[in-house]
Amino acid sequence: MTEVLRTEGLTKRFGGLVAVSMVDLVVNHKEICAVIGPNGAGKSTLFNLITHYLEPSSGRVFFQGADITDLPAHDICTRGLVRSFQLTNIYPYLTVFDSVQMSLLSIEGLSGNLFRKARSLLREETERVLQMVGLSDQWYLTGNLLSHGDKKRLELAISLGTKPRMILMDEPTAGMAPDETWALVELVDKLRNEEDLTVLFTEHDMDVVFDIADRIVVLHEGTKICEGLPEQVQKDDAVRQCYLGGYQPSAQ
Amino acid sequence: MKTNWLIPSLGAAVLVVLGLVAGEFWVKIATEAIIMVLFAASFALLYGQTGLLTFGQGAYFAVGAYGFALSMTKLELPFALCFIIGVVSAGLWAWITGFLCVRLAGIYFAIMTVVVAQSTFFIIFQWYDFTGGDNGIQGLIPPGFLQLPLAYYYFALAVSAVAYYGYYRLVTSPFGLSLRSIRENTTRATFVGIHVRRHTLKAFVVSGLFAGLSGVLFAPFTRTVVPQMADWLSSGKAVFMGILGGPAHLAGPLVGALVWVFLDAVVSGFTVHWPLIIGILVFVIVFFMPGGLMGLIASYGGASSIGREREPQS
């Protein structure tokens, strides 16, 4: 298995608080890896460090073998490492079509082009991404008019529009209805198989985590306390104590 | 979706015919309005498209006008060359000052643009040897037949029409979409790989070029340039015209500037309380029609039938 993402000793301090402490993480090609942990464990901060939304206090991040720790956020995206956000982060007054087309234009290096018509560029590719997430019929609506679940799907489509090699999803199913959640899980699995996508995600819904994750990393108070296959993590005493409690996977 | 050319063609026809039927007074008012369209567009590009509130477009308007005036009086260059120098110097000044401004966001950006504009004003105001200080520069007479008001009207109309076509192309280009995505959600735009600062600086410079072109057209029209072109009242005019028309809408600056200048001419014809009317007008717009006149028109139907869903909306 080839390694796609690696972090070495990644640490973030906010004043006296150590939000993320010496986290070593490896994610392999086409793997779906979950990061779980109680609220405030440092999951979102970890994502923010990897994608350079926040500056790490120390540690390095490697993506496809290259050190990306000091690259600006937009360069990291251009290299194929994209993220979605915990709170739905879309363009409220752009249409669904424009929102996704923007990502494609950006990744094709056309975002600064003044001499062509945006309208006529990359239409089929945009349509393809919209079909993938099931938003084709709503292409003409502005983002603010979508339902919560559709906004989450648009958010995913905006990320997928950049043709990523790897995607970081921060609670992709938060606030979704159960059927929407499982549709998304299926979609992510399909993307991994068909688009060779590598996935790192955080999630509070343990049914989703144990259903889809190949491997689970458990954070607690900024430190990695456990890592392994779902069965191993579930049996781990420390994890049960601090987070899982008496969780039993349901028969999904 | 095909572009709807009917309304722009009708508008252009009206403006062309206007020159033939109107008297000299109204031709001059129309000339001013046509020139102000580009000034309003420079504001709309930054605020309406990119979401950057600028109160300093007067600086580039003035630098354009002074670039033209100085190369005409000091260097005695041909008209066309003075014209180009004026526009380029506004663009350069926007590039230098924009480099500072785009590093800031929100209210700090707005304050920085005011600071830049007031600094520009004082440089012009106090540099007597070079700019003539508060006397300004007079005697900027255009060559040959352009001295005729009607000829200058058509000249300004032609230049503005070409520039506005450029504005239309910019707004509908991939770059225009990038600016709107920055306006809508700067963080999200960054995380789809958009270099936000580079794009906003580019928008800032193009906006400066529009303001500069407006200033360059204005100087030989009034035949004088004065430092007040750079002050905050001048910048405020760009803001008001842009807001009146609807800054996010493609036709917003055009409608805003035309309505503003003609209203000014009509109202100041029968009352000295024109500033009061301005106050009430701004009040009404801000409270009741945040999308400006074009936003109002769009909300009364027609919007989707002409493919407006592919245009920016406020």
Contact B164, B257 (CB under 8 A): no
CATH of domain A1-80+165-252: 3.40.50.300
Q: Residue A243 and residue A38: Cα distance in Å, rounded? A: 6
Is A113–B310 a contact, with Cβ atoms under 8 angstroms apart?
no
Distance CA B220, CA B36 (A): 14
Q: Which residues of A touch B (CB under 8 A)?
A: 51, 53, 72-75, 77-78, 82-83, 85, 89-95, 97-99, 101-103, 105-107, 110-119, 121, 140, 142-143, 158-159, 161-162
CATH 3.40.50.300 residue ranges in chain A? 1-80+165-252
State pLDDT tens for residues A158-178: 999 999 999 999 988 888 888
Whole-number average pLDDT of chain B:
88
| Cα of B174 to nearest chain A Cα, Å | 5
- Distance (Å) of CA A251 to CA A178, A180, A210, A248, B313: 14, 18, 11, 9, 47
What are the Cα distances from residue A131, in Å, to A96, A148, A178, B75, B110? 12, 18, 21, 62, 41
**Average pLDDT in the A212-218 region?**
91
Query: For B16-27, b where at least 16 C-beta lie within 10 A, e where not — what string?
Result: eebbeeeeeeeb
B194 to chain A, minimum CA–CA distance in Å?
Answer: 6
- The more confidently predicted of residues A85 and B111 is B111
Contact across the interface for A74 and B194, Cβ inside 8 Å: yes
Q: From CA B273, how far away is CA B183, in angstroms rounded?
A: 37
pLDDT, tens digit, for every residue of A87-124?
778 999 999 999 999 999 999 999 898 998 888 889 89
- Band (pLDDT 50/70/90 cuts) for residue A246 is low
Helical spans, DSSP H, in B47-105: 57-73, 79-101
pTM of the model: 0.90
| Token pair recorded at residue B6 | 């009917």
Q: Smallest Cβ distance to B172: which of A51, A117, A143?
A: A117
Q: Per-residue pLDDT tens for B101-118? A: 999 988 999 999 999 999
Average pLDDT value for chain A: 88
pLDDT band at A206 (very low <50, low <70, confident <90, very high): confident
- Give every CB contact of residue B22 below 8 A, 6+ residues apart in sequence: B30
What are B19-32's pLDDT values in tens digits?
A: 888 888 999 999 99
Count of CB atoms situated within 10 Å of the CB of A97:
21
